[in-house]
Amino acid sequence: MMSSSISRQLVIWLAVPLTLLALGGALVHYFNSVAPGVISSDRRLKDAANALMARVLIKEGQVTLDDNPAGRIGLPAPGSVRYALRDAEGRLLAGDADIPVVPLGSETSQLVAISQIDHQSLRTLTTRYDTRAGVVLITVADMRPANEPAARFGFMSTLLWDFVQLDLTLVLVWVGIQLGLRPVRRLRDDIAERSPMDLRPIVESSVPREIAPVVVTLNRLFTLLRTAVQSQQQFIADTAHQLRTPITGMQAQLDLLAAEPAARPIKDRLSTLQEGIRQLAHSANQLLTLARADPAANLPAKNQSVALNTIVAEVAAKFFDRALASNIDLGVEAASASILADPSLLDDLVSNLVDNALKYTPAGGSVTLSVGTNQGKPYLAVEDSGPGIPEADRQRVRQRYYRLPNSPGHGSGLGLAIVDKIARLYGASMTIESGAGGRGTRVMLQFP
C-alpha cells in the first residue's frame, strides 16, 4: 500500500478552501455590480408606476389617462420608460402595445419580470390598480440598458483571474513545501545510505526543530541496537569459547584413547565417535560463523584492508594435508587484490568453499583457488572437478541446511549458506556455474 504524501495533502487542504473563497469573492463582486443597477431600475419603475396611477381617470366608466399633468407626479423621460395599461382580460387601454402581457395572480399586487421588447430583455414592473371601472394592470418597462451583461462579463473575468491566482498560489505553496521538506529528505538519504553496521547517532543540530523529536527517537533506537549488538557479540564469543574448549578436549582424549593398545578391540567404535566429534566441532564452528556473519553483529571497527591472495594462500595451506590424503590436486592462482573486510570472516568464507570442494571432488580430481581483479573489481573463485551442481539447484544450495540428493558424507548444508551471507555482508555478488569443460562447479564472488 502506497503511503500518503504530506505535500499533496497540504496542497489539497489549501486548494479546497481557496477555491471556495475565490468563487465566493467572484459572486460577491457580481452581486455588488448588479445590485445597484437593479435597485435603481426598480426605483424608476415604481416611480413611473405611481405617476401613471396618479394620472388614471374614469370617464363614463372608461379608463383614460389625464393629459393635464398639473399638480401630478411627472413621468420619466419618454426614452427611459415605456408603459401599457390593460384591463383584467389583457385588453390594451392605453400606452404601448409592444409591451407584452405579464400574467398577475389574484393575490399579487406587483410583479417584477424580464420581458422581451424589440428583441431586448428589459425589466418590467406590473402593478394591479383597483378602480371604479374595474381592475387596471399597469406595466412599466425600463428602457435604459441593463448592466447585467457587463456584470456577467465582470463576474467571469474576475472568476478567471481568481483561479489564475489560485493556481499560482498553489504552485508557490507546492514549491515552498518542497523546499521546506529538504531537511527531511536529507535525513532520509543520510539514513538510507548507511549500512546495517553504521549505528552512529544523527547530529540533532543539523535538523529543524520540527523533526528533532524524530531524530532523538532514532538516536535512542540506535543506542539500543548498539547495546544489543555488543551483547550479541559477547554471547558469540562466550559460546565459541564454551563450545570449542570442551569439544577440543574430547577430540584430544579420543585421539589418546584410540592410540592405546587396550583400545584396539573397540577401534572401529572409537573411529565412529571421533568422526562424530569432528562433525560436531565443524557444525558448531559453522553455526558460530553464520551468527558472526549477521550484519547486526559486524561493526565497521572490525573491517580493515585485507589481501585476498594472502587469505587464499593461508586457507590452501590449512587444507593441503587433507587434499593430499584424498589424492586431490589443490592449487592456487592468486594475483594481488584487496578488499575492506573482517579477516576472520573472509577466512571462514574461503574455508567453507574449499571444504565443500574437497568434500565433493573424487580422488584424482582437482580444486583450484583463484584471486584477481575483473574490470578493476576484486574477485575470488573456487573451481573443482566434482559432479557439479544442477542448474535447477544452484539457488537452493544457498539456503540453510539444504543438501543435494545423494550427497556424500554427513554435512549440515550450511557451507554455501555461510558463503552467501558473508558475501552479502560485503556487497559481493555470488555466482554458481559449471567448471571448465562443463564439468564440476565454479563458485565466483565479485566484490564491489
Residues 93-103, buried b or exposed e (16+ Cβ, 10 A)? bbbeeebeebe
Question: In 3-state terms, what secondary structure has residue 405?
Answer: coil
Write the Ramachandran bin of 376: left for phi over 0, alpha for psi from -120 to 50, otherwise beta: left
Q: Note the pLDDT of residue 385.
A: 85
| Domain range list for the chain | 6-150, 196-301, 303-446
Place of cell 544450495: 397
CA distance 132 to 110: 19
How many Cβ atoms are within 10 Å of 221's Cβ, its own excluded? 11
> What letter represents residue 52's amino acid?
L
**Per the CATH hierarchy, to which homologous superfamily does domain 303-446 belong?**
Histidine kinase-like ATPase, C-terminal domain (3.30.565.10)
> What letter represents residue 265's amino acid?
P
Q: Which fold has domain 6-150?
A: Beta-Lactamase (3.30.450)
What tens-digit pLDDT sequence spans the chain (448 residues)? 445 667 777 777 777 888 888 777 777 776 776 667 677 777 888 888 888 887 787 877 777 777 665 555 566 666 678 888 888 888 888 878 788 888 877 777 888 887 777 777 778 888 888 887 788 888 888 877 655 566 666 667 777 777 788 788 888 888 887 777 788 888 878 777 776 666 778 777 777 777 778 888 888 888 888 787 777 666 766 666 666 667 777 777 777 777 777 777 787 777 777 777 777 776 666 666 666 666 555 544 466 788 888 888 888 888 888 888 888 888 888 788 888 887 877 888 888 888 888 888 888 888 888 888 888 888 888 888 888 777 777 777 776 666 666 665 555 666 777 778 778 877 788 888 887 777 888 888 888 8
Question: In 3-state terms, what secondary structure has residue 168?
Answer: helix
Q: Note the pLDDT of residue 400.
A: 67
Q: Tell the burial category of 205 from Cβ atoms under 10 Å away from its Cβ (0-12, 13-18, 19+).
A: exposed
CA distance 65 to 141: 18
Question: In 3-state terms, what secondary structure has residue 294?
Answer: coil
Q: Which residues contact 11 (CB under 8 A, 6 or more apart)?
A: 170, 173, 174, 177
Q: Between 2.40.50, 1.10.287, 3.30.70, 3.30.1140, what CATH number should domain 196-301 receive? A: 1.10.287
Element at 131 (helix H, strand E): strand 120-131
CA distance 379 to 339: 10
Q: Note the pLDDT of residue 231.
A: 74
- CA 392 to chain centroid: 36
CA distance 448 to 428: 6
Cβ distance 403 to 413 under 8 Å? Answer: yes
Residues 425-448, buried b or exposed e (16+ Cβ, 10 A)? bbebebebbbbeeeebbbbbbbbe
Cβ distance 159 to 23 under 8 Å? Answer: yes
Q: Note the pLDDT of residue 350.
A: 84
- In order of 63, 88, 89, 129, 311, the CA distances from 134 in angstroms are 9, 8, 11, 8, 125
